[in-house]
Structure 1
Amino acid sequence: MSRNKNEQQVDLEKFNDAPSLFGYELIRDILIPNLLGTDMHEILYWAGKELARQYPLQNRQDIILFFDKAGFGSIELSKDQRTKQVYTLSGEIVQARLEHVQPSFNLEAGFLAEQIQMQDNLYTEALTEVNIKTKIITFIVKSDTQDRLSIEEPLTHFILNDTKDKKNKFFEQGESILPSRSSKYER
């Protein structure tokens, strides 16, 4: 992978301090719903898409790392088909949020849909299913292969690398660290 001279490297280890779950829940599940009211789910979905545009990621592995570092939870691809992908979101933060309120995970859904849309250049949307019993969130991500987008590539994109995970080949190759600047998406 070629490096642009404008790239910056940031050690993700400095982002390892976990925020207070109470503080996170207070903002995400009490304050924001009060501010947004009945339009909360739609606004959060589009806010997630905008957040993805602000932090365009290079690949699916970077999405997984972003979810972890952003405190969204642990996301993994559980089903991959040509036009449909199913992701599951779990973890301590997801369990904590589900125990106290009926939280919205539309911010995460919008973020995921937009990242995949930008990476694949296909119109993409995500649906959210909440399973309170198992405390797992499912995102059903669908892409329209007939509707190719002409998306301008961002001037910068972020490539994540968690230096603790040496088992994954992606990391062993020493790809790159957040944030990184590049003029093109590299696949």
Structure 2
Amino acid sequence: MLNKPLVMDTDERQRLLEWWHTMDAAKPMVRRLMSLITELRLNPESSHADGMILFYRAASEISYGYAGVRGCIRRAFANEYREALRINMAMCHSFAERFSVDTKVLLERVAQQISGQNALLLIQKIRETLAENDVMLKEIKSKADAFFGRDTFNSIQNKVKQSITLPKS
């Protein structure tokens, strides 16, 4: 079932292309976010902050999530569209969403420990870029919903969540 090729009709291919264009439009924002966070991490006014490595790692997961979705879409256009790829698309999208929340929380933890003007300016730019990311994630989610269908996409995401969550004891 996971390896059986899925066939997209013309409308599905068009919706997938629209999703691709939205992902492509997000690339400069993701690059800017990672550049700003790297600059903050290396800045002598902020590099000492507790949680800096966790913050950087969470932001990296946002980037990986975007890259993963883009890779999956590219593979879907290359006749590799299968149920396993659909699951991977949903999983990568959820990485970007979940780690976006973590990144914002960790940014505020790091920000409390910084007083240097240059580092504080970087913090503000990162906040603005994370706000852009929130807008972009909503747009991307709407494209994913349009491609899969909202209920199907939510169902796939719930299956992924269940598969990676430890059962209650």
Report the TM-score, using the length of structure 2 for normalisation. 0.26
Which structure has the larger Rg over C-alpha atoms?
2
Q: When you count strand as a share of all residues, which structure comes out higher?
A: 1
Q: When you count helix as a share of all residues, which structure comes out higher?
A: 2
Report the TM-score, using the length of structure 1 for normalisation. 0.24
Name which structure has the greater RCO, CA cutoff 8 Å, separation 6+. Answer: 2
